[in-house]
Structure 1
């Protein structure tokens, strides 16, 4: 089942036009928190830039900064996650940085060390207080799994679990193991108060279910009322991907998703467009767009490289994948 044309048309409306009318920063800027696996935050941040954001930042520890900077001079690296620093001073720096950006991606290369998880939890709270869009992946999913109230009801967030992470989150959310497979993503979204879930697999399943969100005291209910959009929606992405799943492809997805959400925030703020898309649909639309782009890039890279394909090969194909799906952007939201 292909993605409905109406959804693709709505995603196009969120994409900033390349017509010379926008200044730097009006096409979005995501920030990625990551550290120990220096390649993971690099792939996420660089993917966001390849999709088309203006600026991409990485928050990391001093030990990871040199490696990440050496990968690309295009990334802005902030080596502030110091284990020996006071937590309050680090969070003051993070708060200042987040005040200038549109979306926060938490998880690629984060690690599970206590100090990194503590910083990530604090950054999550600051982002929620500011009404930022959020992407939770990898060790970010591990973090919220220890306390689901961190994310429950915050409907500006998208979770991107793989098979193992999805199973773990489902167990932590007390999802009935007998739930039919086609209903699992929607059930998890409902259990989390309407948080959008991008369940990665042979076909990506993207679900947003706000049926019970209003009765759960959702943190973001005042910002995104359930009546704004569909109470329950599931989109299955059958866009063909490559036949080899290499480590790091999930980081490309989370970075691409960060780009679409950054654009969504710019759209919400009136930087471009008619504001005809309700905020309640932006996380789901962004997840659909990112999934389609990532899977297409994976297919193109595999067709060229075959069995030897690695995640680095996919980066060069993100731009042409985006263009094949959404056009070159010179006409903004027009088809």
Structure 2
């Protein structure tokens, strides 16, 4: 099933032009919060994928035990080892608040782990981000945090949750989605119970559902969505069945978090008037970002699998992100033809 044309056109409108008109940072400043003692690969993959997607700057906010390895993976990443196990919450809160003032979007969860101190800092980060009106992506063990207390994210429609099959089932059970709910309606119900938060349910095909009445939504948002508010109760569902590779490597979800995060960062720059005509409502951005990130990640998986086959690992996908983006969106304004 092809992605609706109006969604593709809106996605292209959010992509920053490559024509020399933007300064460093306006094409996206992404932060990834995660990385504990045993988990250094996941935050790296999410953060470096954001750069490969086209973000200008990518930060990793992690524990000191994870910072050293992550710094050795790539000099392109800015690493902040501030999530110290013995640090007072207020101290870390102040550091996070200062750092978030420099970011467009925050991805929470890759490599987060379930240690009490990391979960506590993640909760603090969500609170600060909400107060600042930041876009959020929650994945992996950040979803475990949400499941324990849905008020952390409930009703915050500038957020995207990206659960895989197991994470979705656990979260649905915790939130109260009846197991008798038809499979094709569970993502809708989960989004509704979470107060309209966008849900990207990963699987053989990705299901993305959102409430088109975001906090600043208006009639124009409903019209742009193509949804019938009477029949769909302002919920919009998009199925992304773009072919992916047949080998499912463990870090593909981290790459998805990074690509979705970049689209959200572009959405904020668009919202702030850095480029484009601002005709797309901000309430529309999470759905578009989830669709765009899903399409690029699945395409990168297919391109990498074509080369590596059964031996595919997450690292193989990184170099394919740029090609996947070009295949998906046709090199939008690529270099403006002047280079």
Q: Which of 284, 300, 303 is the aligned partner of 1:300?
A: 303
Larger mean Cα displacement after TM superposition, 106-115 or 228-237: 228-237
Q: Point out where structure 1 has 5 or more consecutive residues left out of the alignment.
A: 212-219
Q: Alpha carbon RMSD of aligned pairs, Å? A: 1.4
Change in Cα spacing, 1:6 to 1:251, as seen in structure 2 (3 Å) is same
Contact 1:12 1:332 in 2 (8 A): no
What do residues 43-63 of structure 1 show as CA deviations (whole Å, max 9, x unaligned)? 000000000000000001111
Change in Cα spacing, 1:226 to 1:120, as seen in structure 2 (3 Å) is farther
Change in Cα spacing, 1:210 to 1:15, as seen in structure 2 (3 Å) is closer
Contact 1:187 1:209 in 2 (8 A): no
Q: Which of 260, 273, 276 is the aligned partner of 2:276?
A: 273
**Structure 1 residue aligned with 2:217:** 225
Q: Which of 41, 63, 82 is the aligned partner of 2:84?
A: 82
Contact 2:147 2:171 in 1 (8 A): yes
Contact 2:58 2:78 in 1 (8 A): yes
Structure 2 distance, partners of 1:40, 1:331, is: 30
Q: Which of 328, 332, 338 is the aligned partner of 1:329?
A: 332
Change in Cα spacing, 1:331 to 1:277, as seen in structure 2 (3 Å) is farther
Structure 2 distance, partners of 1:186, 1:43, is: 29
Change in Cα spacing, 1:178 to 1:210, as seen in structure 2 (3 Å) is farther
**Structure 2 residue aligned with 1:46:** 48
Q: Which of 228, 244, 248 is the aligned partner of 2:247?
A: 244
Contact 1:131 1:156 in 2 (8 A): yes
Q: Which of 141, 144, 148 is the aligned partner of 2:150?
A: 148
Structure 1 distance, partners of 2:244, 2:132, is: 35
Kindly state the Cα deviation for residue 209 of structure 1 after the two structures are TM-superposed: 2.9
What do residues 205-243 of structure 1 show as CA deviations (whole Å, max 9, x unaligned)? 0001367xxxxxxxx73xx23655231100000100000
Contact 1:190 1:209 in 2 (8 A): yes
- In the superposition, the TM-score normalised over structure 1's length comes to 0.94
Structure 2 distance, partners of 1:290, 1:100, is: 22
What do residues 21-78 of structure 1 show as CA deviations (whole Å, max 9, x unaligned)? 0000111111000112100000000000000000000001111111001000000000
Contact 2:217 2:281 in 1 (8 A): no
Change in Cα spacing, 1:292 to 1:93, as seen in structure 2 (3 Å) is same
**Structure 2 residue aligned with 1:291:** 294
Kindly state the Cα deviation for residue 186 of structure 1 after the two structures are TM-superposed: 1.0
Question: Residues 58-207 of structure 1 correspond to what in structure 2 (within 5 A)?
Answer: 58-207=60-209
For these two proteins, the number of residue pairs brought into alignment is 323
Contact 2:212 2:283 in 1 (8 A): no
Structure 2 distance, partners of 1:65, 1:127, is: 22
Contact 2:212 2:221 in 1 (8 A): no
**Structure 1 residue aligned with 2:230:** none
Q: Point out where structure 2 has 5 or more consecutive residues left out of the alignment.
A: 223-233
Q: 1 or 2 for the larger relative contact order (CA 8 Å, sep ≥6)?
A: 1
**Structure 1 residue aligned with 2:24:** 24
Kindly state the Cα deviation for residue 328 of structure 1 after the two structures are TM-superposed: 2.1
- Secondary structure, aligned partner of 1:21: coil
Contact 1:95 1:126 in 2 (8 A): yes
Q: List 4+ stretches of structure 1 deviating above 3 A.
A: 225-228
Contact 2:192 2:211 in 1 (8 A): yes
